[in-house]
Amino acid sequence: MPENSTLLTEYGWNATLSNIFGALDSPGVVAGRVIRVDRGQCDVAVAAGTVRTLSGSNSLCTGDWVTVANATSETETPTVTSIFPRSSSIVRSSASGKSEGHILAANVDTVVITTAADGDVDLGRIERLLALTWESGATPVVALTKSDAAHNIFTLLTEVSAIAPGATVLAVSAETGEGMDVLDAVLDGTVAILGPSGAGKSTLANALLAGRGRLETGSVLETGSVLETGRVRTGDGKGRHTTVTRELIPFSGGRTLIDTPGLRGVGMWNAGEGIDKTFPEIEEFVSSCRFSDCAHHSEPGCAVLGALERGDIDERRLRSYRKLQRENAWNAARGDARLQAERAREVKALSRRIKDHYRGRRQ
Ligand SMILES: Nc1nc2c(ncn2[C@@H]2O[C@H](COP(=O)(O)OP(=O)(O)O)[C@@H](O)[C@H]2O)c(=O)[nH]1
Ligand SMILES: [Mg+2]
Ligand SMILES: [Zn+2]
C-alpha cells in the first residue's frame, strides 16, 4: 500500500494524495512520483523503489504524481496510466520557439529564485521569475547567493526587497554557511531552484541536501556531491550548463528538491495574474484607467501614468511590468488555439493507453 510506503513519504506522499489515489479507483496500478523525465522515458519513485517507465504522455514532468501499471512486473514495461491533478506547475513559454507553454516542474511548493550577489544584479530577471512563480501557485523565496563575495550585501538586500513585495529575500553563502539556516527554515514541501547558469544553484542544492544549515567548507564536494556543480566540471569558475537533468531528490524534513539547469530566456506564458502579483503597486491603479485595454503608455485617462507622474510608481518598475505584459499577451495570442489542440491530442493518447492496458489484462 502506498499509504504505508516510507519511500513515497520521502517524496511527499500525504493524506490528500492518498484520497486522490483512492478516488481514481484503478485496480492494478500503484501511485508514484516522477523524479526525472528524459526523452520519452521517465523515472518514477513507487513504494517498491524507482522504476523506469514509458512516459505515456508528453505532458508528464518532474514532480508529477502518477499511477503506474506493471510497476513491479518482470515481463511488462512499467507504464504511467494517469496524472494526478497538479497543485501547481511552473510554466514558461517554450524555448523551442513553438507556440506552447513548457512545464518545468509540477507540484512545487517553494521556488528559490537565485541571483549571484557578487556581480551585477538583474532586477528585471528577478521580476520575471517572481511572475512565473506567483503564477505557478508556488511561494517564491529570493536568494542572493555567494554573499561572501558581495561588495555590499546590505544595499543589495534593500534594493531587491523593494522589487519583491510579498516574497522573502535572503542573502546566502553556500561557501561560509551564512544565511543557510534561515533559507532551510523557509523552504517547504517540494522546492525548485531557478536562476541563471552560474548563480550557484547546484552548490546551494548540495548544501541543502547535505542537511545542514551550515556547510563545512569543501566537505560536500569532497564526499561526492549529488548534483554536479560548476566547480566540479569546468574549473573556470563560471559553472556553465553543468546541470542537464531536473531530478527530484528527497531531503530533510520530508521535503524534495529540484535543481534546474540555467534558464536562458524564461518567457511569460499565461502569467497575467503572476505579473499582477509581482507589481501590486502598479496593479492597484490599473482598474482606474479610462480604457479597459489600456497599455499604460500614452493613453488619455491612464491612472498608471498619473501615478508615475506623482512619483507613486517607479519608472523602471513600470517598464518592466509593461514588457512582461506585452510578452504575455503576444504568447497568448499566437498559442491559444494550437495549445488547446495539443492538449486534446494528449488526453486522447493517454486514455487510449489506459484502455489498451485494461484490455490486455482481461485477455
Ligand atoms: N564565493 C562563492 N562561490 C560560490 C558559492 N556558491 C557557488 N559558488 C561558485 O559559483 C560557481 C557556479 O556554481 P554552480 O552551483 O555550478 O551554479 P549553477 O550553474 O547555478 O548550478 C562555481 O564555481 C561555484 O564554486 C558561494 O556561496 N560563494
Ligand atoms: Mg547547476
Ligand atoms: Zn493605463
Query: Whole-angstrom Cα distance, residue 16 to residue 134?
Result: 22
CATH code of residue 293: 1.10.40.50
Q: Is residue 356, in this structure, part of any structural domain at all?
A: no
pLDDT (0 to 100) of residue 264: 66
Q: Are residues 10 and 75 in the same domain?
A: yes
43 and 151 housed in the same domain = no
Which ligand approaches the C-alpha of residue 291 most closely?
3
What pLDDT was estimated at residue 227? 56
Strand partners, 2: none
**303, part of any domain:** yes
**pLDDT tens sequence across 31-72:** 999 999 877 788 999 999 999 987 666 678 899 999 999 998
Residue 104 pLDDT grade (very low, low, confident, very high; cuts 50, 70, 90): confident
Q: Are residues 78 and 112 in the same domain?
A: no
Same domain, 277 and 248: no
Ligand 3 center to residue 298 CA distance, Å? 8
pLDDT (tens digit, 9 = 90+) per residue, 317-341? 999 999 999 988 887 776 665 666 6
Q: Which atom of ligand 1 is nearest to the CA of 149?
A: 1
Gap from CA of 218 to ligand 1 centroid (Å)? 12
Q: Find where cell 504511467 sits.
A: 80
**163 CA distance to ligand 3 middle (Å):** 20
Q: Given 210, 236, 259, which residue is the final one in a domain?
A: 259
- Residue with cell string 513491479: 72
Q: Could you tell me the pTM of the whole model?
A: 0.84
**134 & 250 share domain:** yes
Answer yes or no: do 230 and 141 share one domain: yes
Q: If you measure from the C-alpha of residue 113 to the centroid of ligand 2, how many angstroms do you get, rounded to a whole number? A: 13
Ligand with the closest atom to the CA of 239: 1
d(CA 241, CA 349): 34
Domains held by the chain: number: 3
> Which residues, 6+ apart, have CB-to-CB distance to 228 below 8 Å?
202, 242, 243
How far from chain centre, in Å, is Cα 203? 18
Torsion over CA: 133, 134, 136, 137 (sign) = positive
For 223-266, the pLDDT digits (tens) are 334 555 543 333 333 333 344 457 899 988 889 999 887 666 77
In this predicted structure, which of 7-16, 124-133, 242-251 has the lowest mean pLDDT? 242-251
For residue 10, what is the domain's CATH number?
2.40.50.140
Least confident of 104-113, 210-219, 346-355: 210-219
Instruction: Say if 353 falls within a structural domain.
Output: no
Which pLDDT score is estimated for 260? 80
The answer on 252 and 124 residing in a single domain is yes
Q: Which atom of ligand 1 is nearest to the CA of 206?
A: 15
Report the atom number in ligand 1 closest to the C-alpha of 203. 15
**What percent of the chain lies above the pLDDT cut of 70?**
76
Nearest CA to ligand 1 atom 14: 200
The C-alpha cell at 284 is: 492597484
Q: Is there a domain that residue 350 lies in?
A: no
The closest ligand to the CA of 201 turns out to be 1
| Distance in Å, CA 68 to ligand 2 centroid | 30
Q: Are residues 119 and 49 in the same domain?
A: no
Within this chain, do residues 123 and 60 fall inside the same structural domain, yes or no?
no
Whether the per-residue pLDDT at 77 is higher than 60: the answer is: yes
User: 118 and 218, same structural domain?
Assistant: yes
In this structure, which residue's CA is closest to atom 28 in ligand 1? 146
* Among protein residues, the one whose CA lies closest to atom 24 of ligand 1: 231
How far is ligand 1, taken at its centre, from the CA of residue 230, in Å?
A: 7
The parent domain of residue 322 ranges over 272-341
- With respect to residue 160, please indicate whether it lies within any of the assigned structural domains: yes
Residue 151 domain-assigned (yes or no): yes
Residue 48 falls inside a structural domain: yes
Per residue, the 3-state secondary structure of the chain, as one string, reads: CHHHCHHHHHCCCCHHHHHHHHHHCCCCEEEEEEEEEECCEEEEEECCEEEEEECCCCCCCCCCEEEEECCCCCCCCCEEEEECCCCCEEEEECCCCCCCEEEEEECCCEEEEEEECCCCCCHHHHHHHHHHHHHHCCEEEEEEECHHHCCCHHHHHHHHHHCCCCCEEEECCCCCCCCHHHHHHHCCCEEEEECCCCCCHHHHHHHHHCCCCCCCCCHHHHCCCCCCCHHHHCCCCCCCCCCCCCCEEEECCCEEEEECCCCCCCECCCCHHHHHHHCHHHHHHHCCCCCCCCCCCCCCCCHHHHHHHCCCCCHHHHHHHHHHHHHHHHHHHHHHHHHHHHHHHHHHHHHHHHHHHHHHHHC
Q: Which atom of ligand 1 is nearest to the CA of 173?
A: 27
- 169 and 203 housed in the same domain: yes
Q: Give pLDDT, residue 59.
A: 78
Residue 40's Cβ-count burial label (10 Å; 0-12, 13-18, 19+) is exposed
Residue closest via CA to ligand 1's atom 3 equals 146
Cell 561557501 belongs to residue = 175
pLDDT at position 238 is 38
Ligand 3 centroid–CA 307 distance in Å is 10
Residue 144 has pLDDT above 50, yes or no: yes
Q: Which residues surround ligand 1 with Cβ inside 6 Å?
A: 145-146, 148-149, 173-175, 195, 197-203, 229-231, 237, 239, 242-243, 262
Whether residue 72 is contained in a domain is answered as yes
- Indicate the residue type of 122: D
pLDDT at 28: 86
The DSSP bridge partners found for residue 101 are 93
State whether 110 and 80 are in the same domain: no
Q: Tell me the per-residue pLDDT of 199-224, one tens digit each, with 9 for 90 and over.
A: 999 999 999 988 644 333 333 333 33
